Structures are given as C-alpha cells and as structure tokens.
C-alpha cells in the first residue's frame, strides 16, 4: 500500500464511516432498486440520488468507468470525478479498472470513495444481473454539520476500526476529530478530542497503534466558562445565555434564513449585538437602537433547541423563555475567530457530479441567462467603445502630434551660404518645410513640393481642405514646380502657386489632374514620366519612379488618381498614383531629390554630389544607408520630411513623433564617415558648390 493511499485512508475513512452509518440507519431494511432514467435508488417512501460507482467481480471491484455495462455517460459523472480525484491525490491503486480485494478491501474502497467524493455513502444494489455499488447523495436526510455528534462519531469509528484495517489508527482518529471540529491533543498517550460544549472523546491505543478503547466523557459547562470561543452565563431568570463571536452565527444560519428571515418577526435593540430570544406566544416586532433580536414562535424554538441540545450539555431551558444567543461585536472576539470557525453549522457544498438532472438543467439555464446578460453587456460595451474610440484615437493623436520644439544640434548644422552663386557657380537650396525646397542657379527657380498650407489634425478630420491664399502669397517667383506625389502634404499649394506665378507644374497624372481641377491651364502642365529627361530652363531633370513608404503597415496608402474635375477634397481624396524622384543638374551641380523613405537598391541609378532623402514613414536602416551611399555616391545628404507638418510653420521647427532623425544620420555616417549630413531650419538656405 502506497504512502499516498495511507494518507488518504487516515484522512477520509473516519468522516466517511460516520456518513455511511447515518445512511445505513436511514435505509434500514428497505429493498432498493435503481431507476437509470431518473438516476435514483427507490424504496419504500425513500428516494436517493445515486450514481454507479463499481460492480463486484472476481477478485475485487471493477470501477464503472472501466466496466463494459453500457452506462449512459451522464450517469458516470461520479465515477469519472473519483478517477480525477485519484489522479490529483496520486492514488494509483484507484486508477486501475479493477481493484484487487487483497490490496484494498471493498469496505475501505467504498468509504474512501465516499470521503474523496464528499458523498453521503455507498449502497450495494442488484442491477442488470450484477451487484452494483452506487454513490449516494441523500438530499432529504439530516443536514450535515461541520461539528460532529460525539456519540455518533464514537460509534462509527469503533465500527470502522473493526471493519477496516487502518494503516495508522492513531493518525486516522486524530485526523477524523480535527476534520469534524474537535480540538485535538495528546494526553498520557491517548488522543483526546475536545468539543465546544465540553464533551471529550478519548481514544487509547497500544504500542502498535491499535485502538484499545474509545470513551466519551461529558462535562457540563460551568458558569462563565469559555470553551473554544463560547462563554456561558447564568440568566437572572434562570437558564443559560450562550455568547458567541460574530462568526458563530453560522451555527444557526440555515435556520435563521429558513424561519426568521422568511417571515418571522425580529426587533433591534440596545448595544448588545444580535440576540436570539426564544419565547412562547406570537412573534413581536420592535426597533430600539442597534443590534438585533429575533423572537421566534414556539415551534421554531423547539426546532432550534433540538439543534442546540447536542452542543449544550445539560443546559436546561425552562419554559422555552430564557435561552438567549448573543452575538457580540467581532472586534471583541478576534482572539476566538479560529475556534468559532470550527463551530459554524454549515452544510458542505454539493459536488457538481451530485446535482440532480432537473437541478442541473436549471443551473445550466441560469448560467445561459447569465451568459446572455454578459453578452448583452459586452455588446453594449463594444458599441460604446466603437462610439468612443474615434474620440479616443483623435485625442491620443492630438496629444502625440503636439508641437515639441527641436533645436538642430551643431553637429548637423549647415554652413552659411557663400558667394559662389553670385559668381555663376553652384546652386542655392532653401528649406520651405515638410519636403519642400526652393532651388535656383541664379537664373531658373525651381520649387520642390512647395507646401505652406499645413492643416492641423482636427482640420483634416472636420472637412475638405484646400490651399490658404494668404500663405501662398509668400511665394513671389517660380519657373517650375516639381511635385513628388499628389498627397495633400506635397501638392496642396501647387495649383495656387502655379496660377499666381505662371510656373509649370511637373508631376504624375494625379498631380496634373489636381491642377486642372483648380484652374491651371494645360500649357502649364508637364507630365513627369519615369525614365524621361526634361529640360527645365537652365536645369536638366531625370525622372525616376518611387514607391510611397508604408504608413501603419499599409502599403501605398490613399492610392488612386484625382479626377480632373474634382471639387473640394478631404485629405484622403488627395490620392497618389505613384511618386517621382528627380535628379536635377544645374550650375555645375547635381542633386537627387527623393522624398519617400522607402528605397530599393538601384532606384537612383545616376550619381550626384547632393542627396535629399525622406525620413518619414519607414526608418533608416544600415542596409538602406549603405545602398544610398553605393548608388548615389553623395558628398552631402539633407534629411527631409522629418518635421511636424500638423503644426503651423510659425510655431518653429518640430519633429514628427515617429521620426528618429538623429539615429538615421548616425547610420548614414556609419556607411560613409566622410559624408556631410545637414539639417535645415525653416527658410534656411545653403550653397551647393559645383561637383568639380
């Protein structure tokens, strides 16, 4: 026999034997039969909920879960539950389909099943030509109590010691007493259990651990004595008063709920806490101060006394009028809390497997209603979340896109313009914001993505957007306007500037349609087809196709072509049909203008000494930096599209929250340590010297 089985027998057999003896006395000599449709054992005026546990076979017990008897799956809940409990407790002996009698007797196995499963007992009834053991729950029997009846416990343990060879009777006796509410201690080699009413169970054992005698001693409580959280006081009119801590009310909780709170009257008085007064005559009601007094009728009082007498020794209650249970405030009985928990008269919970089919259906229906209520609440919560989420997203975005001033570090600052351009050499580059620049060789003026109108996030979400005429007036001259793609942060001001200056707009079909819809004549529109070389005044322009960087994981966001007759447009209607990168040659200087942060090797197939490259969207990586250096071979790089274009230019330079411009610069310089990487502030100009 394993140590786990020894522990289980010592822990469970005593309590199980007590329940078994109560059940056997209740059944008596009745002949029972099993009704598989209702799952009950029936006899003369008796119905017991029952579940097949095992059948008798040659050599031992065969568990129902291992027997080929055609039991319905629902009826095997108890057997399967016992099997799971055996796994949890490491009881390998109970996991075999057949338990040999020589390893574990039928009585021991049955009682162990009762103890582990929290059943009321096991009954053997013929069924289907076999002797079948059924696990039983007796719902109409006497209420269980966590506090044991000493006389019943004495009888059941004596019978148990005769019927079952306990591994350690001494330990089993101590475990049983402790589980049933007794305070256990050793006295002169005996195991003594002290009940809250003063009764003692004394088990005497020999040196081998065999039970020699089990005696019950009764000691009436003395006046004022305290017995494990109880105190007794003499009433002036006679009888006794039993004082409990607040937790002791659990001893009578079922009765109070069934009788007193279901219609019996009660009154509140004084500072004495809860007093339960038993008096003859009709109930009365009164309210006086704090505390509670429950006044019960004589029938209910007699039921109460039948519950009290096994726990009250020889206390007399003359005339049913003098017994008072007083519950004092819990702060006065904290020291008694542990003992008072053992006094609680509480029914043990019914295991899931022991719920009757009707009750189980009712419970399932209740759970279904609860799930339906939860689903309804979840749906309303989802609806509320959907309604509130746009506001939350907007609030978060507004917070994230707030203006945070950025001061360009000295290491990234461009030198002031020289005098080369005045001598007819090189180019001058002025930063307009976002990805916009003014580029000139002194003869021809090019505007690259000239965006001065910068709608805020709230303006973008509140309706159509268009160019601000007052801001556009700052542009006094332009010969050509080159647009990367048709999104509003690149092209919104191009039509107004073209109408104001007469400049030619160079871009994709979507860009040109945007200009047509805003009244720019065809003579001022020039299609920038990828691979084409254009002559723009004194500049030569080579056009290459680019791909827009991904935004929030979306490839080519807001794709499409603006119609030539477009009216007022929301920001998402400024659609992109493909970006352009431009290599500009003028004043003996070459410059690549590549706004997108997405780059594939070979995308810029011509060298240039100057590179403008976008930083918004996709972050700079070491591989991307090496590819740019290898394909273009620049001496100077100007990061672009890194500023917060959701804020007006007047507030000064600020970075987009998702752009780490300084980390990108570090990667570029790691790819070519001789590279100059410069950041420009709004309207700051820098001179680009000739290549030779």
H helices of 245-350, where? Answer: 253-258, 298-308, 337-343
pLDDT tops 60 at residue 69: yes
Q: In the numeric block, which tokens belong to residue 34?
A: 């099993």
For the segment 544-570, the average pLDDT, to the nearest whole number, is 89
Which of 168-172, 330-334, 410-414, 483-487 has the largest mean confidence? 483-487
330, pLDDT greater than 50: no
Residue 374 confidence (pLDDT) above 60: yes
Per-residue pLDDT, 529: 94
Buried b (16+ CB within 10 A) or exposed e, 173-196: bbbbbebbbbbbeeeeebbbbbbb
Confidence band of 65 (pLDDT split at 50, 70, 90): confident
pLDDT at 209 over 50: yes
Distance from C-alpha of 64 to C-alpha of 76, rounded to nearest angstrom: 7
pLDDT at 607: 95
| Least confident span in 62-71, 283-292, 295-304, 584-593 | 283-292
CA distance 377 to 374: 5
The sign of the CA dihedral 234, 310, 344, 283 is negative
Q: What are phi and psi of 219, to 5 degrees?
A: -125, 110
Question: Residue 461: pLDDT band by 50, 70, 90 thresholds?
Answer: confident
pLDDT digits (tens, 9 = 90+) for 247-270: 333 334 334 433 333 333 332 222
Look up tokens 């080929």; give the residue: 68
pLDDT band at 332 (very low <50, low <70, confident <90, very high): very low
In this structure, the number of other CB atoms found within 10 A of the CB of residue 465 comes to 18
584: number of Cβ within 10 Å: 26
> What is the CA angle 432-523-547, rounded to 5?
50
Answer positive or negative: Cα dihedral of 551, 557, 558, 564: positive
The Cα–Cα gap between 434 and 167 comes to 87
CA quadruple 379, 383, 384, 387: dihedral, nearest 10: 170
Give 218's pLDDT tier (boundaries 50, 70, 90).
low
pLDDT at site 3: 80
Tokens of 129: 């030509």
Q: Calculate helix-pair angle for 169-179, 3-27, nearest 10 degrees.
A: 60
Cβ contacts of 508 within 8 Å, gap of 6 or more: 483, 485, 486, 527, 528, 577, 578, 579, 580
| Residues 125 and 329 sit within 8 Å (Cβ to Cβ) | no
Largest Cα–Cα distance in the chain? Answer: 127
How many Å apart are CA 529 and CA 545, to the nearest integer? 8
Contact yes or no for 252/276 (Cβ under 8 A): yes
pLDDT at 368: 78
Q: How far apart are CA 300 and CA 188, in angstroms?
A: 44
- The answer to whether 305 and 323 are in contact (CB under 8 A) is yes
Q: What pLDDT score was predicted for residue 389?
A: 75
Least confident of 155-159, 278-282, 536-540: 278-282
Least confident range from 236-240, 383-387, 603-607: namely 236-240
- Cα separation, 260 vs 247, in Å, equals 18
pLDDT for the residue numbered 291: 30
Closest CA to 549 of 616, 502, 603, 477: 616
Q: What band does 364 get if pLDDT is binned at 50, 70 and 90?
A: low
pLDDT of residue 260: 37
Would you place residue 363 in the very low, low, confident or very high pLDDT band (cuts 50, 70, 90)? low
Closest by CA position to 217, among listed 151, 292, 308: 151
Pair 497, 477: CB distance under 8 Å: no
pLDDT band at 312 (very low <50, low <70, confident <90, very high): very low
Q: Domains of the chain: which residue ranges?
A: 1-143, 145-219, 226-343, 363-400, 410-688
C-alpha R_g of the chain = 46
What is the reported pLDDT for 678?
93
Beta strands in 358-503 (DSSP E): 427-433, 436-440, 445-448, 480-482
pLDDT: which is higher, 224 or 35: 35
DSSP secondary structure, 513-545, as one string: HHHHHTT--GGGEEE--TT-EEEETTEEEEEEE
Percent residues over pLDDT 70 in the chain:
71
313, 308, 310: which is closest to 296 by C-alpha? 308
Structure tokens at 455: 């709608």
For residue 606, the model assigns a pLDDT of: 94
Q: How far apart are CA 428 and CA 149, in angstroms?
A: 104
Please determine, for residue 18, whether its predicted confidence score (pLDDT) is greater than 80.
Answer: no
Close Cβ partners of 174 (under 8 Å, ≥ 6 residues apart): 184, 191
403-460: pLDDT as tens digits: 788 899 988 988 887 655 555 678 999 999 999 999 999 999 999 999 999 998 888 8
Q: What are phi and psi of 398, to 5 degrees?
A: -60, -40
Percent of the chain with pLDDT over 90: 32
pTM above 0.75, yes or no: no
Structure tokens that stand for 672 in this block: 């070519």
Say how far apart CA 275 and CA 243 lie, in whole Å. Answer: 9
Residue 242 CB contacts under 8 Å (≥ 6 apart), including other chains: 230, 231, 232, 308, 312, 323, 324, 325, 326
Among the residue ranges 115-119, 167-171, 330-334, 462-466, the one predicted with the least confidence is 330-334
Query: What single DSSP character describes residue 56?
Result: E
Bigger pLDDT: 344 or 527?
Answer: 527
Residue 204 contacts residue 196 (beta carbons within 8 Å)? no
Residue 336 has pLDDT above 50, yes or no: no
| pLDDT category of residue 298 using cuts at 50, 70 and 90 | very low
Reported as a single tens digit per residue, the pLDDT across 345-355 is: 223 344 444 44
Write out pLDDT tens, residues 72-123. 777 787 788 888 888 888 888 788 888 887 778 888 888 888 888 778 889 9
- Would the pLDDT of 628 be above 90? yes
Q: Is 331 helix (H, G, I), strand (E, B) or coil?
A: helix
**The CATH number of the domain covering residues in 410-688:** 3.60.15.10
> What are the tens digits of pLDDT across the range 635-684?
999 999 999 888 888 889 988 887 889 999 999 999 999 999 999 999 99
How much is the mean pLDDT over the chain? 75
């Amino acid at each position: 026999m394993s140590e786990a089985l020894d522990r289980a027998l010592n822990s469970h057999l005593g309590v199980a034997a007590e329940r078994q003896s109560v059940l056997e006395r209740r059944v008596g000599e009745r002949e029972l039969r099993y009704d598989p449709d209702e799952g009950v054992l029936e006899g003369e005026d008796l119905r017991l909920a029952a579940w097949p546990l095992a059948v008798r076979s040659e050599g031992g017990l065969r568990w129902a879960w291992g027997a080929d008897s055609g039991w319905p799956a629902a009826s095997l809940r108890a057997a399967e539950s016992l099997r799971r409990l055996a796994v949890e407790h490491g009881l390998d002996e109970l996991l075999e389909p057949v338990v040999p009698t020589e390893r574990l007797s039928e009585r021991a196995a049955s009682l162990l099943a009762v103890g582990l499963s929290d059943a009321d007992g096991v009954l053997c009834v013929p069924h289907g030509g076999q002797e079948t053991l059924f696990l039983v729950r007796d719902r109409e029997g006497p209420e269980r109590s966590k506090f044991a009846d000493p006389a019943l416990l004495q009888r059941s343990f004596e019978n148990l010691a005769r019927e079952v060879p306990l591994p350690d009777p001494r330990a089993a006796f101590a475990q049983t007493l402790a589980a049933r509410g007794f305070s256990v201690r050793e006295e002169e080699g005996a195991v003594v259990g002290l009940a809250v009413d003063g009764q003692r169970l004394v088990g005497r054992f020999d040196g081998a651990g065999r039970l020699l005698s089990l005696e019950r001693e009764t000691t009436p409580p003395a006046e004022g004595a305290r017995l494990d959280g109880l105190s007794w006081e003499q009433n002036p009119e006679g009888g006794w008063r039993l004082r409990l801590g607040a937790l002791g009310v659990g001893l009578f909780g079922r009765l109070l709920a069934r009788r007193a709170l279901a219609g019996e009257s009660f009154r509140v008085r004084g500072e004495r806490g809860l007093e339960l007064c038993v008096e003859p005559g009709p109930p009365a009601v009164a309210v006086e101060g704090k505390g509670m007094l429950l006044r019960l009728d004589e029938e209910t009082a007699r039921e109460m006394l039948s519950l009290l007498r096994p726990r009250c020794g020889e206390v007399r209650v003359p005339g049913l009028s003098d017994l008072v249970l007083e519950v004092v405030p819990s702060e006065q009985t904290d020291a008694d809390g542990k003992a008072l928990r053992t006094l609680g008269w509480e029914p043990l919970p019914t295991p899931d497997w022991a719920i009757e089919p009707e009750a189980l259906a009712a419970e399932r229906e209740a759970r279904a209603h609860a799930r339906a209520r939860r689903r309804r609440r979840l749906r309303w919560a989802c609806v509320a979340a959907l309604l509130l989420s746009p506001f939350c997203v907007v609030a978060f975005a507004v917070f994230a896109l707030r203006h945070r001033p950025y001061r360009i570090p000295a290491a990234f600052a461009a030198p002031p313009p020289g005098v080369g351009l005045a001598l007819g050499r090189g180019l001058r580059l002025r930063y307009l914001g976002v990805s916009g620049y003014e580029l000139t060789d002194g003869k021809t003026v090019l505007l690259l993505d000239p965006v001065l109108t910068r709608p805020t996030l709230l303006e973008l979400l509140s309706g159509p957007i268009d160019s601000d005429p007052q801001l556009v007036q700052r542009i006094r001259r332009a010969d050509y306007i080159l647009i990367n793609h048709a999104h509003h942060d690149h092209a919104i001001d191009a039509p107004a500037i073209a109408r104001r200056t007469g400049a030619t707009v160079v871009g994709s079909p979507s860009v040109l349609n945007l200009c047509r819809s805003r009244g720019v004549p065809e003579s001022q529109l020039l299609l920038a087809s990828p691979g084409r070389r254009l002559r723009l005044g004194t500049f030569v322009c080579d056009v290459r196709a680019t791909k827009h960087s991904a935004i929030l994981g979306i490839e080519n966001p807001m794709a499409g072509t603006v119609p030539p007759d477009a009216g007022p447009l929301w920001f998402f209607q400024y659609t992109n049909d493909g970006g352009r990168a431009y290599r500009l040659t003028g004043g003996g200087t070459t410059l690549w203008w590549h706004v997108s942060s997405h780059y594939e090797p070979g995308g810029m197939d011509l060298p240039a000494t100057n590179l403008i490259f976008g930083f918004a969207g996709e972050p700079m990586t070491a591989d991307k930096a090496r590819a740019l250096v290898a394909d273009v071979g620049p001496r100077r790089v100007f990061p672009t599209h890194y500023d917060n274009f959701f804020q007006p230019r007047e507030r000064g330079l600020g970075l987009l929250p998702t752009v780490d411009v300084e980390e990108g610069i570090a990667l570029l310089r790691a790819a070519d340590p001789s590279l100059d990487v410069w950041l420009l502030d709004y309207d700051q100009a820098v001179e680009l010297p000739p290549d030779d």
